[in-house]
């Protein structure tokens, strides 16, 4: 039987890795990045999502618009800003409500957000995050229509369910098995919703016959897992300090009874293996006779998300103590 990791298992500090060296293509961020960041900062202020100085400071270290510009490289400003605002919302939700109370209490809390997504109406106890989510929903509906919005709602429900599935492990201090973690983390990382926004970023909505295709789903799921492994590898030091067992490095340490350095090496090997598999599946998908140009553009955007997320993770100070990357940003000038 697995036992909780002892206290000394949460004390290792590792130097940041360089996943970009594993084969990243030339990365050119969206040229509308600065305009997007100013608009997104104003959106966070308008909905009073970061009123506390420590919350504002954390968002300044996070810079969601930089991540959006890395990943939606060809989006027009409305879709790019929508992506940045959704990323900001997910970070703020995760920091404030995604990892907290008991399962029943969290499930009740999540019901209010699901009401907003499904009906556009606010619960009686609506707060700033509800109001902001309603604004996102309104903009998404105008940009992509009801069929796309239904898929987005499902992705958000998976995210909420993933948060609930993590609770018993956090309460016990035990990491899940890798087999269970791969599925759990695919949901709790919150990447399916931001991948849904690839379609409005491309100015198109994929038909149901495409989104129901097993090969398309497999490609998306693998992109989500690669983004999750990136997050876990770069955030390990912070989460180790928080004594958080929900991290691929900790999962590898527990599963193989190894130290932090070897645990991260094991995590990077998983990343490399999945990255190779993604490349093979994407090439096969793009080469299929029935794959359309918009599907090929979507698969390229999945690759943009994989590497754009790595570039942001390597540069962000969200998971570090320094603050140099926030200097000169819109977050510091307002």
Question: Could you list the pLDDT tens digit for every one of the 334 residues in the chain?
Answer: 444 444 445 455 788 788 988 888 888 999 999 999 999 999 999 999 999 999 999 999 999 999 999 999 999 999 999 999 999 999 999 988 756 567 888 888 899 999 999 999 999 999 999 999 999 999 999 999 999 999 999 999 999 999 999 999 988 889 999 999 999 999 999 999 999 999 999 999 999 999 999 999 999 999 999 999 999 999 888 877 657 789 999 999 999 999 999 999 999 999 999 999 999 999 999 999 999 999 999 999 999 999 999 999 998 877 765 544 555 578 776 6
pTM, 2 dp: 0.92
Domain assignment present for residue 311? The answer is yes
Distance CA 202, CA 296 (A): 11
Domain assignment present for residue 99? The answer is yes
Instruction: Give the model's pLDDT for residue 325.
Output: 52
Backbone angles phi, psi at 213, to 5 degrees: -70, 125
Torsion over CA: 256, 260, 263, 267 (sign): positive
Domain assignment present for residue 292? The answer is yes
Distance CA 145, CA 18 (A): 39
Distance CA 152, CA 156 (A): 6
Instruction: Give the model's pLDDT for residue 311.
Output: 94
Domain assignment present for residue 179? The answer is yes
Domain assignment present for residue 12? The answer is no
Total tally of structural domains belonging to the chain: 1
Instruction: Give the model's pLDDT for residue 1.
Output: 41
Instruction: Give the model's pLDDT for residue 330.
Output: 81
Instruction: Give the model's pLDDT for residue 98.
Output: 58
In 3D space, the residue among 282, 252, 291 whose CA is nearest the CA of residue 270 turns out to be 252
Domain assignment present for residue 21? The answer is no
Instruction: Give the model's pLDDT for residue 8.
Output: 46
Domain region containing 155: 33-323
Domain assignment present for residue 196? The answer is yes
Instruction: Give the model's pLDDT for residue 324.
Output: 47
Domain assignment present for residue 175? The answer is yes
Residue 105's CATH number: 1.10.600.10
């Amino acid at each position: 039987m697995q036992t909780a990791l002892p206290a000394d298992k949460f004390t290792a500090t590792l130097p940041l890795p360089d996943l970009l060296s594993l084969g990243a293509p030339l990365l050119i961020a969206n040229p509308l990045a600065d305009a997007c960041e100013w608009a997104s900062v104003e959106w966070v202020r308008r909905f009073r999502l970061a009123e506390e100085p420590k919350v504002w400071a954390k968002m300044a270290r996070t810079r969601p618009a930089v991540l959006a510009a890395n990943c939606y490289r060809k989006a027009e400003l409305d879709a790019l800003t929508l992506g940045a605002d959704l990323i900001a919302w997910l970070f703020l939700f995760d920091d404030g409500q995604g990892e907290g109370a008991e399962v029943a209490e969290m499930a009740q809390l999540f019901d209010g957000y699901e009401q907003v997504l499904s009906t556009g109406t606010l619960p009686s106890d609506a707060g700033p995050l509800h109001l902001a989510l309603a604004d996102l929903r309104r903009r998404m509906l105008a940009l992509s229509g009801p069929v796309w919005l239904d898929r987005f709602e499902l992705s958000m429900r998976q995210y909420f369910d993933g948060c609930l599935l993590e609770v018993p492990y956090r309460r016990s201090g035990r990491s899940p098995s890798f087999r269970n973690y791969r599925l759990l983390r695919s949901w709790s990382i919150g990447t399916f919703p931001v991948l849904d926004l690839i379609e409005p970023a491309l100015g198109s909505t994929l038909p149901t016959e495409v989104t129901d295709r097993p090969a398309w789903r497999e490609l998306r799921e693998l992109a989500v897992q690669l983004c999750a492994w990136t997050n876990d590898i770069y955030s390990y030091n912070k989460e180790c300090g928080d004594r958080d067992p929900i991290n691929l490095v900790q999962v590898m340490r527990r599963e193989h009874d190894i130290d932090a350095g070897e645990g991260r090496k094991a995590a990077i090997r998983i990343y490399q293996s999945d990255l190779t598999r993604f490349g093979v599946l994407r090439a096969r998908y793009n080469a299929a006779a029935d794959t359309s140009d918009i599907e090929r553009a979507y698969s390229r955007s999945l690759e943009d998300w994989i590497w754009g997320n790595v570039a942001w993770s390597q540069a962000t100070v969200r998971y570090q103590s320094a603050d140099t990357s926030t200097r000169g940003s819109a977050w510091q000038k307002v």
